[in-house]
Homo-oligomer: A and B are copies of this chain.
Amino acid sequence: MSGPLEDPAGIDRTDPEGEIARRADAYRNWGRWGEHDVLGTLNLIDDATRVRAASLVREGVSISLAQSFDMNGPQKGWRRRTNPVHTMLDTGTDAERGNQGFPHGIGGADDVVAMPLQCSTQWDGLGHIFDHGMAWNGRRAGDVVTSDGDLVTGIEHTASAMVSRGVLLDLGRFLRPDTGELEDGYAITPVDLDDCIAAQGPSSAVGRGDIVLVRTGQLARARRDGWGDYAGGPAPGLSLSTAGWLHAADIAAIATDTWGFEVRPNEFDVPAFQPLHQVVIPNLGLTIGEMWDLDALGEACAARGRYEFLLTAATLPITGAVGSPVNPLAVL
């Protein structure tokens, strides 16, 4: 399924501009769903996909793929990204003490959260990344995302989209059967993806409209050893060379258990930052999930030898948002 441009030696580590442009040009989906499109590859999920996805529920086991949302998360302030700050407007302590002034013994607790939309388990919207000042579908970035938010491709447009067949590709378990964890800096190639599918068997065949979940195992390591540089630091992840694979597969979306989806450090010897994002979000129109917790799902799939399931991962429709926190549910 890998694209024509991709081979293991295919990346010139001194030329991110060229490597990105070559793939952006080859795999650009602009106009594919009309000039007014705001969904990109999410268009590949149709009613039939959802019927088929629902039919995958056999046991009724529901698994949340969300990390927790709290101050114990990985954010350290880079680019003003903090962990979520959750505070109470009213408490049980005040209710019990009679401080609230409500009648007939009723008491209440309310709360507030302040958080970056990219702080924990999340979807990146189509307005999250730009390529040379251009956003998804060939729009100028400044026409799309201003300080008023994403005026065109805001996450609210995806409100009903995120139901599909999910497929887990457990690269950690496949490539490192002993530990289940890829080492930081490991670049997952198209061959790795295809080999993993072959090894896992037919239930993990990837097709049109699927939401693919790539487990690297890094989160298990972070959970064990502490966050360290989880946010922004070295990590296993997809190689830039998977761009063609992602395009050819016609998937609707993809998510990983890492902070940044693609391998870190990025695959260049000169300054570079998230080149695969630059290719796939504004050019392919691919929605990306990050910091998903795929460990319990990995266990469940391995135990069953079955890697497909109903996946619902509804965005929170914050008007104009370029991303969304999410609690994805896999139902097996």
A interface residues, Cβ below 8 angstroms from B: 16-17, 20, 46-52, 54-55, 57-64, 66, 68-72, 77, 79-99, 102-118, 127-133, 135, 140-150, 156, 159-163, 270-275, 277-278, 310, 312, 314-323, 325-329, 331
Main secondary structure of the interface of A (DSSP, over half): mixed
Q: For A46, what are the chain B residues with a Cβ–Cβ distance below 8 Å?
A: 60
What are 26 of the A-B contact pairs (CB < 8 Å)?
Answer: A17-B104, A46-B60, A50-B61, A51-B60, A62-B163, A66-B314, A71-B77, A79-B110, A80-B85, A86-B319, A88-B322, A92-B133, A92-B150, A93-B93, A93-B97, A93-B147, A94-B142, A97-B97, A99-B148, A106-B130, A106-B275, A107-B132, A109-B150, A111-B318, A113-B115, A316-B327
Contacts of A111 in B (CB 8 A): 116-118, 149, 318, 320-323
CA A63 – CA B132 in complex, angstroms?
Answer: 36
Given contacts A106-B278, A129-B107, A275-B106, contact A318 B16 (CB under 8 A): no
A128 cross-chain contacts in B, Cβ below 8 A = 108-110
Task: Tell me, rounded to whole Å, the shortest Cβ–Cβ distance linking A35 to chain B.
Answer: 18
A94 touches B91 (CB 8 A): yes
CB of A188 to closest CB in B, whole Å: 20
List the B side residues contacting A62 at CB < 8 Å: 50, 160-161, 163
Chain B residues lying within 8 Å of A85, measured Cβ to Cβ, are 80, 82, 112, 114
Known contacts A54-B54, A160-B64, A317 near B142 by CB under 8 Å: no
Least CB distance, A42 to chain B, in whole angstroms: 11
The listed residue with most B CB atoms (<10 A of its CB), out of A47, A62, A92, A147, is: A92
- Sort A-B residue pairs by CB-CB distance and give the 4 closest, nearest first: A92-B141, A47-B60, A92-B145, A50-B60
Q: Which residues of B contact A112 (CB under 8 A)?
A: 80, 85, 87, 114-117
Residue on B with the closest CB to A85?
B80
**Best-surrounded residue of A96, A317, A321 (most CB of chain B within 10 A):** A96
Contact status of A84 and B318, CB under 8 A, knowing A50-B57, A106-B274, A278-B104? yes
Shortest Cβ distance from A146 into chain B, in angstroms? 5
Assess the B84–A82 pair: CB atoms within 8 A.
no
Per the bound structure, the CA–CA distance linking A320 and B87 in Å amounts to 9
Whole-angstrom CA separation of A44 from B282 in the bound complex: 44
B54 near A60 with CB under 8 A, answer: yes
Most buried by B among A20, A52, A70, A91: A91
